[in-house]
Chains A and B, each alone.
Chain A
Amino acid sequence: DTGVSQNPRHKITKRGQNVTFRCDPISEHNRLYWYRQTLGQGPEFLTYFQNEAQLEKSRLLSDRFSAERPKGSFSTLEIQRTEQGDSAMYLCASSPSTGYYGYTFGSGTRLTVV
C-alpha cells in the first residue's frame, strides 16, 4: 500500500469553472476526511465519510461543494462555479475507525483559481 493518493497535485482553473479532485485512501481505512488549507493557516475540516456515508459536512462548505465516496473506496470533491476564494490546498486523509489516533494524509491538491 502506497498511502493516501490525491490527484491531481496541482490544478489551475478559471473562475466560474467546475473542478473535481480525487482521493484514494489506504484500502483498509473506512474513514475518510477532507480538509482545506489556505496560506498561513492550519488545515480546516471540510467533511467526513464513514465507508460510503457522509456523516458530517462543515459550514465552510458552501452549496457549490459536493463530496462523494461511492462504495466506500475512493472519494471525489467537486467545486462548482469556482471563486478566487476557493484557492487553497485540499487535503485528504484516512484512518481506521478503531485502534488508531491520528490520520494518514495525502500530499494534497493545490487549487489556483485565476
Chain B
Amino acid sequence: AQTVTQSQPEMSVQEAETVTLSCTYDTSESDYYLFWYKQPPSRQMILVIRQEAYKQQNATENRFSVNFQKAAKSFSLKISDSQLGDAAMYFCAYRRRSGGSNYKLTFGKGTLLTVNP
C-alpha cells in the first residue's frame, strides 16, 4: 500500500520569506502523480501544484515550486515570497496513474503553515 509522510506537523515563515515543506512517500509503482493541496481555515481543499512522476522537470506555479526526487521518493514544496494568505494546512497526496483504484488519493497528515507579518 502507498503511504505519504509529512514529517513537519507545523512550520512558520516570515512574510516575504521562503519556506519549504517536506513530503516523502512509499510506493512500488513507477507511474503516478503527486500533489500539494492547501486547506485554509474555511476547510475547502485547493490544489496548489501537481507533478507527474514521468516528468523530470519540477513543476512550478507562480510562487509555488516543487523539488521532486523520484529515486529518493521525496516531494517538497517551496513557497517563495510568502504571503499572509498562504497560511493554511498543506497536504501532500499521491495517486497512481493507472491500474486499480487509480482515482484514489492518499494523503499525508499535513503541515500547518503559519505566516508571520
Chain A contacts to B: CB under 8 angstroms: 31, 33, 35, 40-45, 48, 56, 89, 91, 93, 95, 101-108, 110
Secondary structure of the A contact surface, majority rule: strand
Chain B interface extent, by class: 20 to 34
* Bound CA–CA A89/B50 (angstroms): 24
In the complex, the answer to whether A42 meets B103 with C-beta atoms within 8 Å is no
User: Which of B37, B44, B52, B93 has most A Cβ within 10 Å?
Assistant: B44
> Given contacts A33-B103, A101-B33, A103-B105, is CB(A42)–CB(B110) below 8 Å?
yes
* Bound CA–CA A44/B1 (angstroms): 14
Secondary structure of the B contact surface, majority rule: strand
A107 interface neighbour in B44, B93, B101, B108, Cβ under 8 Å: B44
B16 CB, min distance to chain A CBs, angstroms? 28
